[in-house]
Structure 1
Amino acid sequence: MPSTTVVEMERKFDVKEGAAVPRLKDLPGVARVDEPARQRLEAEYFDTVDLRLAPQQITLRRRTGGSDAGWHLKLPAGPGERNEYLEPLGQDGGGVPEPLLRLIRVHVRDSALTVVARLSTKRTVYRLRNKKGNVMAEFSDDQVHAETLVPRPSSQHWREWELELTGGPRTLLDAGQGLLAKAGLRPAPESSKLVRALGKNLPGAYPALPARLKGSGGDVLLTYLAGQTHALTEQDPRVRLDEHDGVHKMRVATRKIRSVLATYLKLFKDTGTAKRCAVS
């Protein structure tokens, strides 16, 4: 099991060069904003050469600098949330820590993990405190330089703002989004810096399962199976972490896949393989 686990709740915003940081003290519950703290963050992002993690909104990085230097694995946990698992830095070239590797094994199998991007970030952090002096959230003003290594080398630079909860209520995120919307800013469409850096080179993720399936029988079947496969792989790390309901939900997805394969066996060209999957 990873050394540390946290739930990350944040909002990212696209921002132009020269834009002034808003009056963060105007946010509800914020009594004081600390003087800005400056950090230099250097991160290497790991994935397979064919990028099996990034399309699933999974990021694995080794980062130095800041208050949380180390290995970070982020898995999607819901709208605007990610579960973050941390391990110590270790030695350069020491490889991905085994506790983190176990949680992504379902995606990468035995494929090698390699550095697919390097990001250098100049960060200015503003800590937002309540009347008791407790830190409710951190507002980060980031200048990001990204170098991607796959499928071909490229580089880019951008500026973004992040508002991340550290103890405050979720409503603070909504209020922050409203404050920035008044300044003409909108949430960033990308879920992570790595996704933004990869851009058009990012492969497609598992297709979302629509409420009503349309098209030929084969198309409908494949879409449904893709959705259930995604549900199955999504539960794998939860089962490994012995989380509540993980095994049950994995069994549900498995039964649905097996039932479809058994019912529509004749639609498969390789009926032998489909039949073995249906009865296994």
Structure 2
Amino acid sequence: MSGRLSSFNIVSLVLGFSFLYLPIVLLVIYSFNASQLVTVWGGFSLRWYAALAGNRMFLDAAFVTLRVGIISASLATILGTLAAMALARYGRFRGRTLFSGMAAAPLVMPEVITGLSLLLLFVAINFDRGFWTVTLAHTTFSMCFVAVVVQSRLVTFDRSLEEAAQDLGCPPLKAFLLVTLPVIWPAVLSGWMLAFTLSLDDLVIASFTSGPGATTLPMRIYSQVRLGVTPEINAISTILIAVVATGVLVASITLKRQEARRLRDERLAQEAERQALAA
């Protein structure tokens, strides 16, 4: 079988990538448009980025979105890692099926249902909607994604390393922090990045659970788009794309370096073992 791409495959790839990324490319290009008309090119300009710097509504919404994303991703990573540990380590226990189903429910639950149920919960317990309700809502629906990512890594983790540390007198918590966590750290970091990206992207759940002073950037963009697309929306969307792309790039480089370091350490350990056996 030849490894060369056929004309059909090339055309399919071009059409597929164009369908996915051409709208994003056009959005980025027109964010540098000097014209006030979104679809008419008037020359290269940074005027809309300068105007965006003075738009207090967009800046406040962006600050709220970043705070919600960082806090909710951190909470979701902690809770998701604990849930993954319970599912991967403790085998069959009473209530496992229910716990597993509840942990994975947000993966398949429509966002409208999740947002409505959280809204009813906050109203029932008389919890005023605002920054923390949005943060808790984002933690709830992104925690399951972290659990899935971390659990897939824990399934292949060699528990003999952790057991050896405990046999040498290391407490379970310390063994987890010093032995297990460094090994599964790439999966934990990937889970955090996924939760952060989902938080930045969410509109539906935030619309149900937000309150005064807790308008996120997707909500602000959506409310502005309903009145008409402006070049400032292209600019803030481009910045959001750049933030997400930079985060993904940094995470990818970090994971690759950690994997290369792990492989190097394994080679050094194997070489030391061979030299010990030879001696």
| Range into which the TM-score falls when normalised by the shorter chain | under 0.3
TM-score (norm 2): 0.26
| Greater per-residue helix proportion | 2
**Higher RCO (CA-CA < 8 Å; seq separation 6+):** 2
TM-score (norm 1): 0.26
| Greater per-residue strand proportion | 1
